[in-house]
Structure 1
Amino acid sequence: MNTDTNEGKWKQIKGEFKEEFGNITNDKSTETDGKFDKLVGQIQEKYGETREKIEKEVKSW
């Protein structure tokens, strides 16, 4: 595994925490950020790309 794959797993965990925290505090912004972080982390883990490259691609959708 490369560092981008490991970083992707960490981003998924962080995203899940933000999602849950957003639910608890009724903070939709935090919840949305968490979902985005989780998505980027899943893509990063699968393809081993950098966060910057993935964010650029996702935003172009």
Structure 2
Amino acid sequence: MDWNRVEGNWKQMTGKVKEQWGKLTDDDLTQINGNREQLEGKIQERYGKAKDETSRDVDDWYGRQTW
């Protein structure tokens, strides 16, 4: 996977991220700024999920994006 696409289009992607993970705040998204590790960390924090489960969720979400 090429996460660089997400990083490069982060401002456009934030709406899609919020659709999937509505507990993330605008401040969270600003802080994450496209960084996958930070995104996964915030999802874990907000949703209380395990690291491997969160990683799979992000992979699934990324795979459903249309470019």
| TM-score over 0.5 (shorter chain) | no
TMscore range, shorter length: 0.3 to 0.5
TM-score (norm 2): 0.39
Q: Give the structure with the higher percent helix.
A: 1
**Structure with bigger RCO (C-alpha 8 Å, 6+ apart):** 1
Structure (1 or 2) with the larger CA radius of gyration:
1
